[in-house]
Amino acid sequence: MSTTTDNPSAQPESTGPQNPVLETADQQVAAGIPFERFLDCVHCGLCTSACPTYLETGDENNSPRGRIYLMRAVTEGKIALTEKVSGHLDLCLDCRSCETACPSGVQYGRLIEPFRIGMQQQAVKEGKPKGWFEKYILFGMFPYPARLKLALWPMRVLQKTGLDRLVDKSGITRLLPQKLRRMQNLLPKLPPSSPPLPTFLPAIGEKRARVGLFTGCVSEAMFSPTNQATARVLQQNGCDVYIPRTQQCCGAIHYHGGESKPAVELALANIKAFEEQNLDAIIINVAGCGAMLKDYHHLAEETADLSDADREKLVNFAHQVKDISEFLHELGLLPPTGEIPLRVTYHDACHLVHAQQIRQQPRELLAQIPGLKLVPLPESDICCGAAGSYNLTQPEMADRLGERKLQNIRKVNPQAVLAGNAGCSLQLQATLKAAGYTIPVYHPVDLLDASYRGVMPAK
């Protein structure tokens, strides 16, 4: 166990509030976190049953209250950052469901995220380098759509020729490292390779807004039709749509993986990409990226060596970002007319419902599609287990949560599942496919687009 905070100068003769002095290496992990953020938690426990990992395990160490207690105890030098402690912190999905449940306004994300960055940096200091997966795949490939598309090319060929099923059957993929095998299992039916969207698409009809479209990296590689649908729906609703080619990954993969410096560099590149067009809003259709883009102002607060001008730009950019459902709801959707006679259910992506508090907007947009029947999904706002790269780094819990989601979907027996986040879509598709349940997963905007065009959504 590490040493305690027996600092004689901090003993209570003076009656003013005392924060712990960070002496040990373990305590230093919390260096970037104002201690007051821990004090926001009054230990009432109302968050516990909002937490997917607590629901699954029943262990308070895997609950938000427990994790805050652990982080605070490490910060105060009461316990060491042992492997078990960091295991409980790593098991957190960062789904922020606890923030929705918390009556005291605890900013849980702003505790766990910087703490995990601290853990990462400490590991590097101690000479524990990142594994091959983080180095080459997670940070080296995912944030770059071009590299990702290239890497997916063999898979596209296999799928096209039908050889993928043969490969699956042959069992040859079992020779792959576990994380790559899981990635292969997660892959959706890849869309045909298509040219990128043009850099400008004009409004149809009366012009109502001027927006930028953030196309994302993983989503652009695997869900480019959804990006195209988003652009068309925006045009239909009277928006000039700008799609700058110089935009980059939002930085979430790095930031959540404990790498804050590259995240800031990507953020500044994105600001540069969008800043010249004088936009009313920057639209994103991926909840995870949207939450990160809206968090740029926290990035501004937490990054020490930034110019005031950059800081201001980060804050301004964050305020411009809107999820597609949020934006269309505010703008006032021009009613789509094409009938889509489907019985569907909607899964709340954590980074929409909890991180961005967007719950009603997508449901109200979907309600305007003629013929569409939206049935409520039990536990719709409990994480599906995707949680960014969590699926690859915490496979056991991801599978348990996937199974939980599957059981809830079975209860309502829909013809399609809807989700506003690429990561959820991958996880849901893979889970449904593994269970032999052949229903499609759509983004709500896919259905809006289909309704505007008077066609059924593509399977």
Partner 1 sequence: MTSSIPLINALSDIVGKDHLLYDAEELLVYECDGYIVEKKCPDVVVFPISTAEIVEIVKTCNRFEVPFVPRGAGTSLAGGCLPVGGGVMIALTRMREIHEVNLRDGYAVVDPGLVNVHLTREVSGDGFHYAPDPSSQGACTIGGNVATNSGGPHTLKYGVTVNHVTGIEVVLPDGTVANWGGPAGMPPGFDLTGLFVGSEGTFGICTKATVRLTRNPAAYRTMLGIFDDIQTATRAISEIIGAGIVPAALELMDQGIIQAVEAAFKFGFPLDAGAVVLIEVDGLEVSVDDEAARIKELCHQVGVREMRTANSEAERLLLWKCRKQAFGAIGRLSPSFCTQDGVVPRTRLPEILQFIEKTSQKYDIRIVNVFHAGDGNIHPILLFDERDQAQIQRVIEAGDEILNKCIELGGSVTGEHGIGVEKINFMPKLFSENDLTVMQEIREVFNPEGNCSPCKMLPTAGACGMEQIERSHPGRQAAL
* Least distance (Å) between residue 96 CB and partner 1: 15
Instruction: Please report whether residue 1 would count as binding partner 1 according to CB under 8 A.
Output: yes
**Distance between CA 63 and CA 85 in Å, rounded?**
12
* Least distance (Å) between residue 20 CB and partner 1: 10
What are the phi and psi torsion angles at 71 (to 5°)? Answer: -60, -40
CB atoms inside a 10 Å sphere around CB 100: 17
**Distance between CA 299 and CA 177 in Å, rounded?**
34
* Least distance (Å) between residue 102 CB and partner 1: 7
Q: How remote is the C-alpha of 130 from its chain's centroid?
A: 22
Identified binder of partner 1 from the candidate list 78, 130, 149, 156, rule CB under 8 A: 78
Question: E strands along 324-437, which residues?
Answer: 343-347, 373-375, 416-419
**Distance between CA 378 and CA 145 in Å, rounded?**
35
Nearer to partner 1, 64 or 118 (CB): 64
**Distance between CA 412 and CA 345 in Å, rounded?**
8
Identified binder of partner 1 from the candidate list 5, 22, 53, 69, rule CB under 8 A: 69
91, 63, 93, 47: which is closest to 424 by C-alpha? 93
Identified binder of partner 1 from the candidate list 31, 42, 146, 150, rule CB under 8 A: 42
Instruction: Please report whether residue 435 would count as binding partner 1 according to CB under 8 A.
Output: no
First to last CA, the chain: 56
Residues in binding contact with partner 1, number by CB under 8 A: 43
* Least distance (Å) between residue 9 CB and partner 1: 15
Instruction: Please report whether residue 438 would count as binding partner 1 according to CB under 8 A.
Output: no
What are the phi and psi torsion angles at 384 (to 5°)? Answer: -85, -5
Q: Answer for the pair 226, 285: CB distance below 8 angstroms, yes or no.
A: yes
Instruction: Please report whether residue 458 would count as binding partner 1 according to CB under 8 A.
Output: no
Stretch of 32-40, 251-259, 286-294, 337-345 contacting partner 1, by CB under 8 A: 32-40
Instruction: Please report whether residue 24 would count as binding partner 1 according to CB under 8 A.
Output: no
Identified binder of partner 1 from the candidate list 4, 7, 104, 194, rule CB under 8 A: 104
Instruction: Please report whether residue 6 would count as binding partner 1 according to CB under 8 A.
Output: no
What are the phi and psi torsion angles at 349 (to 5°)? Answer: -65, 135
Instruction: Please report whether residue 89 would count as binding partner 1 according to CB under 8 A.
Output: no
Residues that bind partner 1 in the complex, under the rule CB under 8 A = 1, 12, 15-19, 36, 39-40, 42-50, 54, 58-61, 65-66, 69-70, 73, 78-80, 82, 84-85, 88, 101-106, 378
